[in-house]
């Protein structure tokens, strides 16, 4: 019984941690040779609905330090004077609602154990496995954070690459500490791979 409870607890922990992971999306100008860009610079961040979570020196430092490291690992050099490509970031925090699901079960006429005995850890017995299904029982509000990185061709002044990392924000301090991991995940979507 203890082993089964331990297994179920571990499985629940894995499911919860996998649901809270970040998701990444990207788009770019197709057939553009990104290796032509040798130097880069930064544009000011875009004002956004950040609810002041990421509008502080620690958050900015985490974003810029990690992005600079990732860009230099891809062979780009920072330049204040006429860089080939300009980067900027946008931070958005918004509220969404999601459905909370509950389970309903039905099964054998003998209840828990049926003619085969008592099974306190399972929903089966009698004629076999009890059938279950999920259905929405409520709604809950969830806060999501989005970090968007954009690359702008300096000569044409047009966006040539954009990538977004999205994750649930439950504790602002934890979200700020996770920024390097999220920015690294976003930079994996950049068309040039790391050379270091």
Please give the pLDDT value at position 159: 97
In a domain, 194, yes or no: no
Question: In this structure, how many other beta carbons lie within 10 angstroms of the beta carbon of residue 150?
Answer: 17
pLDDT > 90 in the chain, percent: 45
Do the beta carbons of residue 89 and residue 66 sit within 8 Å?
no
In a domain, 116, yes or no: no
- Angle, helices 57-73 vs 179-187, to 10°: value is 30
Section 74-87 average pLDDT: 96
Question: In this structure, how many other beta carbons lie within 10 angstroms of the beta carbon of residue 116?
Answer: 11
- Total domain count for the chain? 1
Section 58-71 average pLDDT: 95
Given a cut of 80, whether residue 119 has pLDDT beyond it is no
In a domain, 131, yes or no: no
In a domain, 9, yes or no: no
Q: Between the ranges 35-49, 105-119, 180-194, where is the mean pLDDT highest?
A: 180-194
In a domain, 17, yes or no: no
Domain span at 84 = 23-96+142-187
59 to each of 20, 24, 53, how far by Cα in Å?
20, 19, 8
Given a cut of 60, whether residue 109 has pLDDT beyond it is no
165 pLDDT band, cuts 50/70/90, is very high
In a domain, 129, yes or no: no
φ/ψ of 95, rounded to 5, equals -100, 140
Given a cut of 90, whether residue 145 has pLDDT beyond it is no
Please give the pLDDT value at position 21: 75
In a domain, 3, yes or no: no
For residues 37 and 153, give the distance between their C-alpha atoms in angstroms, rounded to a whole number: 9
Given a cut of 80, whether residue 93 has pLDDT beyond it is yes
For residues 86 and 83, give the distance between their C-alpha atoms in angstroms, rounded to a whole number: 7
In a domain, 76, yes or no: yes
Please give the pLDDT value at position 58: 92
CATH of the domain at 151: 3.30.160.670
Of 95-99, 157-161, 165-169, 179-183, minimum mean pLDDT range:
95-99
């Amino acid at each position: 019984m203890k082993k089964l409870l331990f297994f179920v607890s571990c499985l629940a922990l894995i499911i919860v941690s996998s649901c809270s992971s970040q998701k990444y999306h990207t788009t770019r100008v197709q057939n553009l040779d990104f290796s032509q860009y040798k130097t880069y610079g930064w544009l000011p961040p875009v004002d956004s609905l950040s609810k002041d979570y990421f509008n502080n020196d620690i958050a900015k430092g985490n974003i810029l330090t990690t992005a600079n490291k990732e860009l230099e690992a891809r062979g780009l050099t920072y330049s204040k004077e006429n860089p080939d490509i300009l980067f900027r970031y946008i931070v958005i925090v918004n509220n969404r609602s999601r459905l909370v699901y509950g389970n309903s079960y039905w099964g054998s006429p003998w209840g828990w154990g049926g003619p085969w005995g008592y099974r306190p850890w399972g929903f089966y017995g009698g004629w076999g496995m009890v059938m279950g299904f999920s259905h929405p029982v409520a709604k809950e509000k969830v806060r999501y954070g989005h970090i968007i990185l954009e690359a702008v061709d300096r000569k044409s002044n047009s966006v040539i690459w954009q990538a977004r990392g999205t994750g649930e924000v439950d504790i602002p301090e934890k979200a700020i500490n996770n920024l390097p991991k999220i920015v690294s995940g976003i930079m994996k979507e950049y068309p040039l791979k790391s050379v270091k």
